[in-house]
Structure 1
Amino acid sequence: MSRQPPVERLAWLVNRLRCMSVGEVGYRMQQAAVGRLERRGMLRWSAPAPESTARALPRAGTPPLQPGEADAILLDAERIKSGEVVLFAECRFNVGAQPEWNRDPASGVLGPSVFAGDIRITDRALVGDIKHVWELNRHLHLVRLAQAWRVSGDPAWLAVLRAQVSGWLEQCPPMTGPNWTSSLEMGIRLINWAMVWQLAGGADGQLFAGEGGQALRRAWLDSIYAHCQSIARHLSRHSSANNHLIGELAGLYVATTAWPCWDQSARWRGQAARELEHEALAQFSSDGVNREQAFSYHVFSSEFLFVAALAGQASGRPFSSQYWESLERALHFLRSVMDVGGHVPMVGDADDGIVWRLDPGHNDRAALLLSLGGALAGERAPQSATARWLLHAFPGQRPRSIQPAQAPGWSFPDGGYLLFGRDFGAASEIKGLLDCGPLGYLGIAAHGHADALSLTLSVAGEECLVDPGTYSYWQALKWRDYFRGTSAHNTVRVDGADQSVSGGRFMWVRKARSHVERMPQSPGQFDFRGTHNGYMRLADPARHIREVKFDAASRTLIVTDRVAAKGAHKVEQFWHFAPGLAVTRHASGVHVRGKAFGLQLEVVGEGAVIELVRGQEDPPLGWYSRSYEAKQPCDVVKITTVSNGAPLECRFTISFSQCLPEG
C-alpha cells in the first residue's frame, strides 16, 4: 500500500535494525505474531459484561467560572456543533456536523476501513496526513461539548455529544481503520473520553437516559474495553519507549480508574501504575529535564503524568512521593528556561500535540502546565480554566508531597542545559540557553535535533537568537531534514554535514556526544568550554570546540568556535534571529533591533565571509516554525571560513532602549 520506493523502504528497515537490541528484535517479532492472530480474529475484542458494582471516580463538579469563560466555552461549542474544530495549536478545520472520522481534514483523503495492522500510515495517498487524522480523533473537542452542557444545563449539548460519539463508534469498530493504528492515540482518546464521561454526569447521567442512551453506554464501554486491550497488547517498548509509552500507560491508567468494569481492569491498572512510576523517573533527568531533549515533549509527557496522578488522587490510589517529586523537578526546569515574556525555546521536535484543551481562550501549554502545578501546590486559587476544570473532572485531595515552586535555576548538567544572563525575571532580563546534552533518548533518539552546543537568547522578554522549531513531520523530506539538521541551529556545521547521521524521519543512526570541559560558576559570569564528537567520523576526523562567555556587567556574549583537525575543513556558523527583528548587515558586522533592545554582532576570524540569508528554498535556510505545519522566513547570519583550528569569534553586545528599567 505504501508509495515509498522499495530501495528507500529497505534502507529504512536496515537502519531501524541497527538501532535495535536483540531483545527488541524479539519483541517486534512477538508483536508481529500478535498482529497476525488479531487479523485472523483469533484474539478476543468483545467486552465481557461490565460489573455494575465497580467503584469508579467520584462525581465531577463544575468549577467556579471567571467572567467571560462560560461565553467562550459556548461560542467554541457552537463552532464545533456546526463542524468547525481546532486541531494542533490553532488550526481550524471544517469536519462537518457529523464527521467522517477516518477522513484527513487537511487533504480530504478517506482512510480505508480495513484491519488496522494492514494500514501503512506513512502512505499519504492511502490515509492522507495521519497526524491530522489522529489529532481530530483525540476528541479534545468532545470535552468542550460536555463543558457546554455543564455551564449551560442545556440538554441540546448532550444530543450533539451523543451524535458524535455514536458516529465514531459506528465508523471505527475495534481494530478497523487508521484510528486503531497507534496505542498512543488510543491513550489520549481514553483520557478525553474519561473527562467527557465525568463531566456529562457519569454512568447514570442524562447522556445515557432512555433506551438509546443505554445502547450508547453499552457500545461505548465495549469500545473502551477494546482500547484498553489493544494498548495492553501493544505498548511501545525498547527504543520506542519514549513519550509514547508514558501516554499509553496514562491512558490505560485513567481508563481503568474511570471504568473499573471488568476482571482485567485491576490488572491493567496495576501494571500501568507500576510502569508510570518507573517512567516518571527514567524519562526525566535528576534535574528535571525530559530525556527526549525536546521541550514540547517535556510538556507533553508531563501532561500525561499529571492527569494520571489526578486520577490516582481521585480514586484514593495516590502515586508515590518520588513520582510527584519528578513532576516538581520537571516544572522547575520549565519555569527556569521560560523567559520573562513567557517564551520557551523550541528545542527538539514539536508537533503541537496536546493531551487536553479545556480553555478555549488559551493554548500556551507551558504556562497552563505551570498554573496546574501551582494550583496543586496550593499557592493560590487556580487562575487558569484548565487547572480548575481538571481538578473538578478528577476531584480528590491535593497531594501532600507536592511543594511550592522553587526559585528558577540556571544549571541542569544531568539534563544537558545551562543558562546564562542577568536580571532573570525582570523587565531587563537577558536569558540564554546553551545545549550541552545528548542528542535524544534511547536507540533512535526520535525527537532530538542535531543541535550540539547550540544556544538561544532572549532579551527583555523578546526572542532574539532562536531555535527555528520543527515545521512538519510528513512534508517533503528536505524540510524534515532541514529543521532537525545542524544548519537550522545556532551552532557550527563542518564540510556541509550534520553533526549526527539521520536514518529516517524519526531515527538517528550516529549520534554526536557532547562533553563539558569547563563548567561555568554562575549565569552572570559564564565561562564555558565544551566539545562534541559528531565530526570525528569524517575521513579527516574533526572536533568542534566551543567556548561561550557572558559578562553581566558589560552585557556581552562572546562565542568562539574552533574545528580541530589535521587538515582544513569548511566551517559554517549559523545565527538564527526571530521573525520581527530588524536585522541589517553593515561593514563592521550585523546590527539587530528589537522592540526594547539593540544587539551588535562583530565577527573576528581569518577569511570569514558573512552572509545574511532569509527564506532560501534550495537548500533550505532562513526559516522559522512557531507552530506545526506553518513556517515563515527569518534572518540567518551565516559565517563561512576554511579552517584547521583557527578561532572564529562572534561578539554580541546588548543595549537597551532608554525607557526600559534595568534590573
Structure 2
Amino acid sequence: MNRLYIIQKKILNKIFSNLIKKFEKLLFFLRKERDFLNFKTEMVFYDGFVDKKAVIDQFKVQINLNAQIFEQADKLLAHRFNLLGSGELSLGQKIEWHHDFKSGYRWPKVFYQKLVEAGFDQYNQLKADIKVPWELSRLQDLITLGQAYYLSSDEKYTEEFIAKINHWIDENPPEVGVNWVSSMDISLRVISLIFAYFFFRSSPAFTNYFRNRYFSLLYYSGVHIEQNLEVSSSGLRNNHHLTNCAAMVWLGIFFKGYNKRANRWLDRGINDLCLEMDYQVNPDGGSFEGSISYHRLALEIFMFTTILAEKNIVCFPSSYKKRFEKMCEFTMHYIKPNGLAPQFGDADNGRFCILNGYGVDDMRDHRTILGIAGEYFQRNDFKAAAGEKIWDALWIFAKCQKQMDATLSYSKLIGYSDTGLYIMRNDRIFFVIKCGSIGQKGNGGHDHNDQLSFEVNIDGMDIIIDPGSYIYTMDKDARHAFRSTKFHNVSCLGDLEQNIIKNDTVADLFKMYSLNKGVRLIFNEEPPGYMNFLGEIVLGENQRIQYKRSVQLNEADRRIIIKDYFMGSQEKSTCRLHLSDQVKARQSGDKVAIIDSGKSKVEIRADEDIRIENCIISPSYGVKINSLSICWDFCEKTEFHISY
C-alpha cells in the first residue's frame, strides 16, 4: 500500500511539474510591461540618499576615496570590467549578457527551465563558467555609476545607466536565458536596481517610459523569485535562500501598497529572514556555511536589509538583534592585522552590494561591514576595526565619525565552538585554527577538508595561509583539488581525505559524503604566557584513524610549537604548509626553512628533512598564482616549531 502511494505521488508530482513548466512558458508571453505610471514608491531609503549635502561635504575631504569612485565609474563608462579573475578588460560597445567572456561560451536565449534541465556538467566539459554572466548581470557596477552621478550631477553617468538597463531588458526578457536561472542572482540584481533608482531618480533623463520599464523589471523579478525560492528537495537552505528572503523584503517595501502580492512579499520576507537568522547563523555568531567568505555575505545581507526594514517601520525580535551583533563581533575577531580575512572554506567574491572599491578592492578585506556595524550598534571597537574602510557607513547614515581615541583590546584567546574557529593573538602574532562541524549542517556545500588547518600572521604580514578556492563548476578537477586535504595546512595520511569528496558530477562539487568533524579538546592559557590548543578528527570510514594536532604559543620564547599524531596507522604521512606569495623562503640545513616577510624573519624547524616545493594559491575567485609550500614526510607523529 505504501509503495503504491509513493508511485502515485511520483506520477502526480511529474504531471504537476510539467504543468508548472507550461504555465511558466505562458507567463513569458503574459509578462508584458505593467502600468506603474500612477505608482510612487513610499520606500524610505538610507540617510545618505536624503542628506546629500552631508555626503558630498565628506567626500570633498576624502580626496582619494572621491577620486577612486570617479576613476572606476569612468572605466565602467568604457565597459571596462575586472570580474572573477578576468583582469581588467573591455567588453565592447554592447555588452553580451549571455556570454562567458573568459571562455568564449555563449548561452542560448531559450526558456530558462531548458537550461536548468540541461544541467551544469556540459559547461564543465566546455570549460565555461556560468558565474561570469551571472556576476555581470548582478549589475553591482550600477552603484559606482550612481555614486559618481550623485557626487557630480554629470548626466553622462545617467546616460550610461539608462542605456545599460534598456539593453539588458531587451536582451533578457522575463524567463529567457541564463540570467533567469539563479534566483539568488536575480535577487542580487534587485538590490542593485533599487540602489540605482535612488541614485538616479532625480535625473531629468529618468522619464516615465523608462520608469515603467524599470519598475516592470523589478516587479517581475519579484514574481520569479517568489515562484523559484531556492530550497533543496531535502529542505536544506543556504545563502541562496537567504538572498531570496532579503530581496522579497526589499521588493515588498518598494512596492508596498501596489497590490496584495507585494504586501505578501514583505510579510513573508521578514518572517523568513528571522527564521534564517536562527537556521543559518550559529549561536556564537558564525555562519553555518563552513566558509569565512560566505559569513561576510550573510552578514551583509542581514546588515543592509535590517537597517532598511527598520527605516520603514519594521521591527525585529531582540533575539534576532543579539545574534546579528554577534555576527559582527565574530567578523571583528577573525580579521587579521593586515585587514584581510582567513580563507577557510569557499570564496567566490560574492557580495550583497559593493559601496566602495568595485573591481579593485581585495575581496579578502571584510572591514567595510564593520564601519556600518559601528554606526548601527554605536560600538567604537567595530569602528576601530574597520580602520580606513569605515566610509561605507557614510552612504547608509550620512555620517561617518572615525573614533580617533578608539583602541582595540583583543583577548589573547577567543574561541567559537559552534562555528569551529579558535584564535590566539598578541601584539605580534595572529594564529587561527579551524576545528568544528561540517558546514551547512553536514552537507558541506561550501566547506573544505580543512579541519585543524591554520593561518599565521606575524608582525602584520601573512606567513602561512589557506590556498583559497579558485573555481567552481568550470573545472571540477581544480574544484576538487582546492577542497582536498592536501591543499590545506595539515598532515595527510597518504591519499586519505578528511571527509569523502567526489567530482564525478558537478553536483558532487557542493557536497561532502561523510561527517568527520573536528573536536576541540583543549583551548586555554595555562600557565600564563602559554596559549594551548588541542583538537582531533577521526578519519576513514572503516579504519577510524585519529588525527590529533596540538598547538602551543610560547610568548616568552616567541615560538609556536605544533605536534601532529596519527593514531591507528603507521603509514607514511606528509605535512604541508602553504606560504603567502608575499614572502620569500629558503632552506637552511636539512630541517629548517627561513621565511622572510620583509618585516621579520621566521624560522620553521621540523623534526624531519624538509623540502620547499612550488604550489598554487588563489587569493580571489578565478585567480591562480604561484607560491611555495614547506613539506616533510613522517610516520605516526611529527613536531615543528615556528619561531619569530
The answer to whether TM tops 0.5 is yes
1:527 to 528, 532, 542: 532
Q: Is the 8 A contact 1:45 1:229 kept in 2?
A: no
Identify the residue that residue 599 of structure 2 maps to in structure 1. Answer: 596
CA apart distance, 1:650: 1.3
Q: Aligned in 2, Cα 1:146/1:42: closer, same or farther, shift over 3 Å?
A: closer
Query: For residues 334 and 239 of structure 2, what CA distance do their matches in structure 1 show?
Result: 21
> Please, which runs of 5 or more residues in structure 1 have no aligned partner?
1-24, 399-403, 424-428, 615-621, 655-663
Aligned equivalents of 1:588 and 1:79: distance in 2? Answer: 50
Distance (whole Å) between structure 1 residues aligned to residue 102 and residue 13 of structure 2:
32
* 1:635 corresponds to: 628
Q: How does 1:223-372 map to 2 (within 5 A)?
A: 223-238=217-232, 240-260=236-256, 261-360=258-357, 363-364=361-362, 365-372=365-372
Q: How many residues of Structure 1 are paired with residues of Structure 2 in the alignment?
A: 595
Q: Is the 8 A contact 2:591 2:610 kept in 1?
A: no
1:389 maps to 2:395: yes
SS at match of 1:634: strand
Following TM superposition, by how much is the alpha carbon of 1:421 offset from its aligned partner in structure 2, in angstroms?
A: 3.2
Secondary structure, aligned partner of 1:330: helix
* Aligned amino acid, residue 57 of structure 1: V
1:31/1:234 contact within 8 Å kept = no
Give how far 1:450 is off: 0.2
Is 1:549 the counterpart of 2:552 in the alignment?
Answer: yes
Equivalent of 1:578, from 577, 580, 598?
Answer: 580
Q: 1:332 to 1:406 in 2, by over 3 A?
A: farther
Task: Determine whether 1:87 maps to 2:91.
Answer: no
What is the Cα deviation at residue 104 of structure 1? 1.9
Superposed displacement of residue 46, structure 1: 5.1
Q: Is residue 452–residue 512 contact of structure 1 (8 Å, CA) maintained in 2?
A: no
Q: What is the deviation of 1:367?
A: 1.1
Q: Aligned AA for 1:229?
A: V
Flag the structure with higher helix content: 2
| Shift in CA distance, 597/405, structure 1 to aligned 2, threshold 3 Å | closer
Rate the CA distance shift 1:167–1:47 in 2: closer, same or farther, 3 A: closer
- Structure 2 residue aligned with 1:36: 21
**Contact 2:84-2:622 within 8 A present in 1 as well:** no
CA distance in 2 between partners of 1:163 and 1:27 (Å): 46
Matched, 1:558 2:557: no
Where 2:468 maps in the other structure, the secondary structure is coil
Distance 1:487 1:263 in 2: 54
CA contact (8 A) 2:41 2:254 kept: no
> 2: distance between equivalents of 1:266 and 1:28?
29
Contact 2:86 / 2:102 at 8 angstroms: preserved in 1? no
Q: Provide the rounded CA distance (Å) in 1 between the counterparts of 2:142 and 2:221.
A: 18
**1:441-476 deviation line (CA, Å, top 9, x unaligned):** 135211100011111111011111111111111343
Using the alignment, how far apart are the partners of 2:83 and 2:92 within structure 1? 14
User: Any stretches of 5+ residues in structure 2 without a counterpart?
Assistant: 1-9, 503-507
What is the CA–CA distance in structure 1 between the aligned matches of 2:490 and 2:350, rounded to whole Å?
Answer: 27
Q: Deviations over 1:628-655 (max 9, x none)?
A: 1111122212222244xxx21112222x
TM-aligned CA distance change 1:250 to 1:73, over 3 Å: same
Between 1:304-313 and 1:74-83, the stretch displaced more is 74-83
Distance 2:372 2:563 in 1: 41
1:389, distance to aligned residue in structure 2 (A) = 2.0
Q: CA deviation at 1:54?
A: 5.5
Distance 2:317 2:25 in 1: 42
Deviation at 1:39, TM superposition (A): 4.4
TM-score normalised by the chain length of structure 1: 0.83
Do the aligned partners of residues 406 and 29 (structure 1) sit closer, same or farther apart at CA in structure 2, a change above 3 Å counting?
A: farther
Aligned residue identity for 2:571: H
Measured against aligned partners, the alpha-carbon deviations of 1:388-409 in whole angstroms (never above 9, x if no partner) come to: 12345xx9xx9xxxxx998545
Structure 2 residue matching 1:106: 3-state secondary structure: coil
1:52 is displaced (CA, Å) by: 2.3
In the aligned structure 1, how far is the partner of 2:12 from the partner of 2:45?
Answer: 38
C-alpha contact 1:502 1:508 (8 A) present in aligned 2: yes
The alpha-carbon deviation at position 116 of structure 1 amounts to 0.6
| RMSD over aligned Cα atoms | 3.0
Q: Report Cα offsets for 1:67-101 as digits up to 9, x if no partner.
A: 24444323322221222123248832322333222
Pick aligned residue for 1:516 from 517, 520, 530:
520
Percent identity between matched residues is 21
Q: Give the alignment's TM-score, normalised by structure 2.
A: 0.85
User: Secondary structure at 1:505's aligned position in 2?
Assistant: helix
